[in-house]
Amino acid sequence: MKFSAALLPLLAAPLAAASEHTSNWAVLVSTSRFWFNYRHLANVLSLYRTVKRLGIPDSQIILMLPDDMACNPRNAFPGTVYNNADRALDLYGDNIEVDYRGYEVTVENFIRLMTDRVGEDMPRSKRLMTDERSNILVYMTGHGGNEFLKFQDAEEISAFDLADAFGQMWEKKRYHEMLFMIDTCQANTMYSKFYSPNILATGSSEIDQSSYSHHADNDVGVAVIDRYTYYNLEFLETQVQDPTSKLTMGDLFDSYDEEKIHSRPGIRYDLFGGDQRARERRVMDFFGNVQNVEVGNEQGNETQWVQPGGPSAAKASRRHSENSQPEAGHVVEKAKPAQSLRREGAMKVDEEQNWTKQVYGAAALVGCAGIWLAGSWMESM
């Protein structure tokens, strides 16, 4: 190759190639424990299966499951987790790699994972080894409220903590682009504090809105999936058939139907450089692992560049093609509202931000202090 010919001084143009990513990572987090939160684990496992099907290898998926529904004694179908009452697809399957389990799922561990401030003995499979060429999908589900998400009934992560963690990641060039997805009550408040560029955020419900479950399986005995996740998955499973899909994030966002989701999903474009740019991103840029693969003959021998991604993708894809049809049929059936409207466990925590409430609160506090003072005064008389 003759470089000198190509080295003609040209106008300094911004490098178009700089907008490429070379690897995809997924951080899938459920934050709630206990049997009646079955659906949160099912949400996460459904998404896990989808990204695996679309080609993200297990080593690049961080799965956080705070409880083990498959082995719960109350599970009538031991060893399985289903996300649908037809029980066509066992999400737990035979090939699940859970990275953080049980009490390991804490706010601290989550922040450590994102910022990679982990001990030296942390195995590589539990670390987010991303660089400035990695796209990250962060999906969280659990019980939340205004600007917080509860972890395991014990602690909570606030929107500020999340924003700071992502801010540090951006400073250290730990991601190229990020899709933040959250399915919880008042979910849209969780991404309201973000300030780092190149984050596309979407949530299931606005402030003061609950996020609802889709339907329950009477034999399992609890709700099996949340609405927002359900309709995201419906799009991903029926529209995005294989890694060559050209569908965009815009198509995904357009598929959100407030009537079906029963809450108003939010999308935040401003950090991503406007809705135009964000909507043009392919769904596969976040949910799959498609890279610009080079196929060529190097040095005259039979070297070829092929894409990693692996058999798990192919395997999952096969499984998918077996299941997608019945599933699609099921979706139509389930869209009938009467049965699916089960408002179970939708925790609503109001933490008003407006001034009147704050004034009330302050007045109450001052009143208490006043009564106390008065009491002490009387006593000392």
Q: Which residues within the stretch 53-72 sit at the binding site for other proteins (CB under 8 A)? A: 57-59
Q: Which is nearer to other proteins, 2 or 246 (CB)?
A: 2
Q: Which of 270, 294, 333, 344 binds other proteins (CB under 8 A)?
A: 294
Q: Is 301 exposed, middle or buried (0-12, 13-18, 19+ CB in 10 A)?
A: exposed
Given a contact cutoff of 8 angstroms between Cβ atoms, the answer to whether 2 and 42 are in contact is: no
| 2 sits near other proteins (criterion: CB under 8 A) | yes
Please list the active-site residues. Answer: 143, 185
Please report, to the nearest 10 degrees, the dihedral formed by the alpha carbons of residues 178, 181, 186, 188 taken in order. Answer: 40
Q: Does 305 help bind other proteins (rule: CB under 8 A)?
A: yes
User: Which amino acid does the sequence have at 227?
Assistant: R
Instruction: Please select the residue that binds other proteins; options are 218, 246, 258, 306, rule is CB under 8 A.
Output: 306
Is 333 a residue that touches other proteins (CB under 8 A)? no
| Interface pattern 10-49 for other proteins (x via CB under 8 A) | xxxx-xxxx-x-xx--------------------------
Within positions 118 to 177, which residues make up the interface with other proteins, using CB under 8 A? 118-119, 123-125, 129, 131, 133, 155, 157-158, 160-161, 164, 167-168, 171-173
**Residue 61: which H helix or E strand, with range?**
strand 61-65
Q: Which residues contact 227 (CB under 8 A, 6 or more apart)?
A: 204, 211, 212, 213, 214, 260, 261, 262, 263
Q: Is 363 in the site for other proteins (CB under 8 A)?
A: no
CA dihedral 115, 121, 127, 133 (to 10 degrees): 80
Cβ atoms 225, 237 nearer than 8 A: no
Return the residue of 270, 298, 350, 352 that touches other proteins, per CB under 8 A: 298
- Cβ 10 to other proteins shortest distance, Å: 5
Q: Which residues from 235-274 bind other proteins, rule CB under 8 A?
A: none
**Collapsed DSSP state (helix, strand, coil) of residue 78:** coil
